[in-house]
Amino acid sequence: MKKSAIVSSLDNLASQKLDALKFRSQERKILVTQRSKNSVVYRDTKKLISFCCNDYLGLSQNKAVKKAAMDVIEEFGVGAGASRLVTGNHPLYQRLETKLAHIKNTNAALVFGSGYLANIGITPVLVGPGDLVVADELIHSSLHGGIRASKANVRYFKHNDIGDCHKILCEQRDRYQHCLLITEGVFSMDGDRAPLSQLCDLSDEFNVWLMTDDAHGFGVLGGGKGTAVEEGVEGRIPLQMGTLSKAVGSYGGFLCASRPVIELLVNRARSLIYATGLPPSAVAAACAALNLIAKDGKLVAAPMEKAQRFCQQLGLCEPKSPIVPLILGESHKALEASEGLASDGFLVTAIRPPTVPAGTARLRFTFSATHEDSDIDRLTVVVRKLGLVK
């Protein structure tokens, strides 16, 4: 069939943009990856040990978690059928939200379809035109999306720079009725933690609401309760967002907050109101995983111990989380390093702009409780062989 002139122009545009991405070594492809136990994955039938998955506790492959998911399908079905405000709020949701609020020591919790949906939905409900958002410059893309949707005025402070944040608040806070301060508990690409105690102090001083995205801290820091507990500020952060798709091993996102805030979000958060509810199996799996996190301190502590072993052997700085980046600079260098590791049996995806700032392409190593010490030891040998650390 002959293409119309309109379709041809669209294809030409797409091809030109793809060529530009290829030239900058920034083209991405979706590759079929079969995950298995003990951080084993298969790509094109090749067996690799993955050091780039966010399944920090291996709970997505845990027998009890999988059984919990399978057991509810017969009773509740495989899908929610509608949004939570229509018929998609199956009975398992209440159980999960009660657990989350208890873990985070808040009055209530609200589960969204994903962490991304949570972050694009929360901010526009709480602030808007005439309000101010102050955020760390390295927050996740989903948080940027929520800020843009809110149409609030926004100022970004230098990464983890309390002095710069204080300066912005001194200059800007009095001009606006409401102010939301946003950061991450653990930054997903750098693995470092936010200075939460000092940010809480600024929140008190300038009467601003602090929101933390703790997607990469929940389940692995603070005895599994997250970065706020790890940093000793439990109870001082009114808006605690997290995900169920990383350490918890299932799917979904959540916010733990006061009951009035949660009730407002139920009424106004577009990414909750207009999204189909989570499958019952995902909610049941999350409940089972949270039970394991609460009971098994050794499991929770393991990812940090694995990251520490890796860093000690390579002479790297003490890790602040199970995420350890090796910054290589240009995108092509990160791709070459990733390919070199794959040839020795390790999967470590190259992280490139625009996910990270220009000139900071990297390998991002993530450590799981399921990693064998022998695999970590072998990984460090290959990293040195490739000249990735000096």
The catalytic residues are: 54, 140, 184, 188, 213, 216, 246
361-366: strand order across its sheet = 323-329, 361-366, 350-351
Q: In what order do the strands lie in the sheet with 132-136?
A: 108-112, 253-257, 239-243, 209-213, 179-184, 132-136, 153-157
22 CB contacts (<8 Å, ≥6 apart)? Answer: none
For 73-98, b/e burial (b = at least 16 CB within 10 A) is eeebeeebeebbeeebbbebbeebbe
Residue type, 334: A
* Cα separations in angstroms, 79 against 5, 92, 118, 292: 41, 13, 20, 25
Q: Please, what's the b/e burial string for 111-135 (b: 16 or more CB within 10 A of its CB; e: otherwise)?
A: bbbbbbbbbbbbbbbbbeeebbbbb
For 109, the enclosing helix (H) or strand (E) is strand 108-112
344 contacts: CB under 8 Å, gap ≥ 6 = 382, 385
Give the number of other Cβ atoms within 10 Å of residue 311's Cβ.
17
